[in-house]
Structure 1
Amino acid sequence: MQRAHPHFTDQAEFRLSLKAMDSDKRPAAENVLGGFLRARRALLRPEDTGLTTSGRRRVPGLRREEVAALAGVSTDYYTRLEQGRERHPSQHVLEAVAKALRLDEEAMAHLRRIAVPTARRTRRSSRAERVRPQLRRLIDAWSDTPAFVLGHALDVLARNRLATALHSGFGRPENLLRMTFLEPAAHDFYRDWNHAATSSVAALRRAAGMDPDDPRLIELVGELSMRSDDFRTLWARHDVRGKTHEAKLFHHAEVGDLDLHHEAFSVNSAPGQQLIVYQAEPGSPSADALALLGSLNAAPIARRSTTTPD
């Protein structure tokens, strides 16, 4: 019998990682909602919620009965919810549980998505994602700004020249998660690797909550789970956060440190795709470094003929 890896929240989730290398196999037995609830209560201490305790506790975080009491439901009902035996929780119950677990708005939205039975989900096509030519031309025209397009599994679908130069230290820069966890260059490139890793896994969790049966996501999670202890640890936390805006701290081998601002925009013409744009503060050392990177990687200019007409 195969034992579950200690970083997974349950046996079903471990089996998912083992099967995920074959993207045609669907994780029908995975209890996504239960895994999320267990992970989130394990991160809360009784004192975080106003509970008083005494004596040694055998489990990290809150007990099931404590979450149930905070949410105003019976322990039996909450247990069935975690075990996947209660498949139709009301919005009122979900809101009460979210409040008990101190979930933020994004985690609450994720909870609502994964609590919906799979049969009611709208399946996304498994066809390869494509970037519209108009969007490619737009980012290619931004010669001073690194820009790229991400797919729903954080695959890099298109880059402009400056973004290509920014990621030039990576051997296979086709997916942000693979770059972060499987490429040796990542720990030098990301000056705060822990933050970059946590953010990328939380973004992938959000995507998985929208479509947990997506073959590409299953394949990616399976590969990373089998090859990276760091990914397994972070994946088991069930953190959820989309890409919006934040500071990015990079170190590039050619130009040194870069402090850039990151903005993410949803591509309305292609649901699931995001346009990512990096900018430096005008007049800053990072702006100078970014300009240098652009000049070092500028497109060659065709030589003009010096021959004079007869």
Structure 2
Amino acid sequence: MTSNDLGDFLRAHRARLRPGDVGLASYGRRRVAGLRREEVAVLAGMNTDYYARLEQGREHSPSPQILDAISGALRMDREARDHLYRLAETLPDGHRTQPRETVSPMLSQLLDGYTNTPAFVLNPALDLLAANGLADALFSPFGKAENLARMTFLDPAGRSFYAQWHRAAEAVVSSLRQATGCEPHYPRLHQLVSVLTESSEEFAMLWSSHTVYGKTHAAKELIHPEVGTLSLTYQSFDVRGAPGQQVVIYHAEPGSPSSQALSLLGSLNATRRRESTPER
């Protein structure tokens, strides 16, 4: 980034517009392409000197209201407006794009391409939006594999599935706490926290601690009733174009007992699917 990316961005968008594009009359000889600074200031309802300081890099803390006014004056689309906020290091006031709840077909195909390792997609509320076959098999001990937080605190299988349940519980609560800071207007998240607080004393206690950290790469120690102990690491990736979604991929050390156990789990799952598929 340059020292004045915000100013460069504003000038570029100002240069793309003509007075007629925004309902203004053109007068006098125009020395620059596009709108003049004072015209943008009038459209945005602000002092011309203040807008000039923004472009010149002499003003560094515009409010969300100021950015809203400028983005409207410069006819910015959603992507440009979001980028304006990022350049200004300011969060929109209640206008953040809500997390997407559906997974694209291409992403689903990508998950299915991981045949030897569990892979799935989460939203900020830790809902399982999509999973490949091995992830489905991994989470099969749970009554409903729909939400990692509910699975951890409300499903009895969680106590035996996580070898170190208290560590897993702390990680879940911390992840949700972080999500409330990133997605303060996300109804699904607040609904989930409310249900868990009412239904689980342990969740309520951990939630009140206000511990915050995101997903780490620490080992997951799991116990699956069909294949035994699994020691897995994982990586998580934000999905571009799908706000709030993360792809999580579990991984076992090649040649390790856990890798062999995952292979066995995959074979068992494939066998069950073949047996459940009607013959034609």
Q: TM-score category by the smaller chain?
A: 0.5 to 0.7
Tell whether 2:258 aligns with 1:286.
Answer: yes
Q: Which residue of 2 aligns with 1:124?
A: 97
Report the alpha carbon displacement of residue 249 of structure 1 after superposing the two structures with TM.
0.3
Report the alpha carbon displacement of residue 170 of structure 1 after superposing the two structures with TM.
0.4
Q: Which residue of 1 aligns with 2:162?
A: 190
Q: 1:251 aligns with which of 223, 231, 247?
A: 223
Tell whether 2:121 aligns with 1:149.
Answer: yes
Moved over 3 A (4+): 116-119, 123-126, 301-305
Give identity over the alignment, percent.
50
Tell whether 2:231 aligns with 1:267.
Answer: no
Task: Give the letter for the 2:135 counterpart.
Answer: A
Q: Which residue of 2 aligns with 1:43?
A: none
Q: Contact conserved, 2:162 with 2:223, CA < 8 A, in 1?
A: yes
Report the alpha carbon displacement of residue 212 of structure 1 after superposing the two structures with TM.
2.1
* Counterparts of 1:207 and 1:160, CA distance in 2: 24
Q: Contact conserved, 2:94 with 2:185, CA < 8 A, in 1?
A: no
Q: Which residue of 1 aligns with 2:147?
A: 175
* Counterparts of 2:149 and 2:204, CA distance in 1: 12
Q: 1:206 aligns with which of 178, 181, 192?
A: 178
Change in CA separation of 1:236 and 1:221 when aligned onto 2, cut-off 3 Å: same
Q: Which residue of 2 aligns with 1:166?
A: 138
* Counterparts of 2:105 and 2:203, CA distance in 1: 34
Q: Secondary structure at the match of 1:243?
A: coil
* Counterparts of 1:220 and 1:207, CA distance in 2: 12
Highest relative contact order (Cα 8 Å, sep 6+), 1 or 2?
Answer: 1
Change in CA separation of 1:160 and 1:239 when aligned onto 2, cut-off 3 Å: same
Report the alpha carbon displacement of residue 135 of structure 1 after superposing the two structures with TM.
0.7
Q: Contact conserved, 2:98 with 2:243, CA < 8 A, in 1?
A: no
Greater Cα radius of gyration, structure 1 or 2: 2
Give CA-to-partner distance per residue, 1:92-121, whole Å, 9 cap, x none: xxxxxxxxxxxxxxxxxxxxxxxx999724
Q: TM-score, normalised by structure 1?
A: 0.57
Task: Give the letter for the 2:98 counterpart.
Answer: S
* Counterparts of 1:243 and 1:177, CA distance in 2: 14
Q: Contact conserved, 2:120 with 2:248, CA < 8 A, in 1?
A: yes
Task: Give the letter for the 2:96 counterpart.
Answer: R
Task: Give the letter for the 2:142 counterpart.
Answer: F
Tell whether 2:274 aligns with 1:300.
Answer: yes
When the two structures are aligned, how many residues end up with a matched partner?
A: 190
Give CA-to-partner distance per residue, 1:113-166, whole Å, 9 cap, x none: xxx99972433337x611111110011121111000001211100000000000
Structure 2: give runs of 5+ residues left out of the alignment: 1-88
Q: TM-score, normalised by structure 2?
A: 0.63
Q: Contact conserved, 1:246 with 1:263, CA < 8 A, in 2?
A: no
Q: Contact conserved, 1:130 with 1:157, CA < 8 A, in 2?
A: yes
Q: Which residue of 1 aligns with 2:189?
A: 217
Task: Give the letter for the 1:125 counterpart.
Answer: Q
Q: Which residue of 1 aligns with 2:207?
A: 235
Q: Contact conserved, 2:220 with 2:232, CA < 8 A, in 1?
A: yes
Report the alpha carbon displacement of residue 303 of structure 1 after superposing the two structures with TM.
11
Q: Secondary structure at the match of 2:177?
A: helix
Give CA-to-partner distance per residue, 1:214-251, whole Å, 9 cap, x none: 21011101000000001001111111111131200000
Give CA-to-partner distance per residue, 1:250-309, whole Å, 9 cap, x none: 00000000001111111112121100001111111111111000000014298999xxxx
Report the alpha carbon displacement of residue 199 of structure 1 after superposing the two structures with TM.
0.6
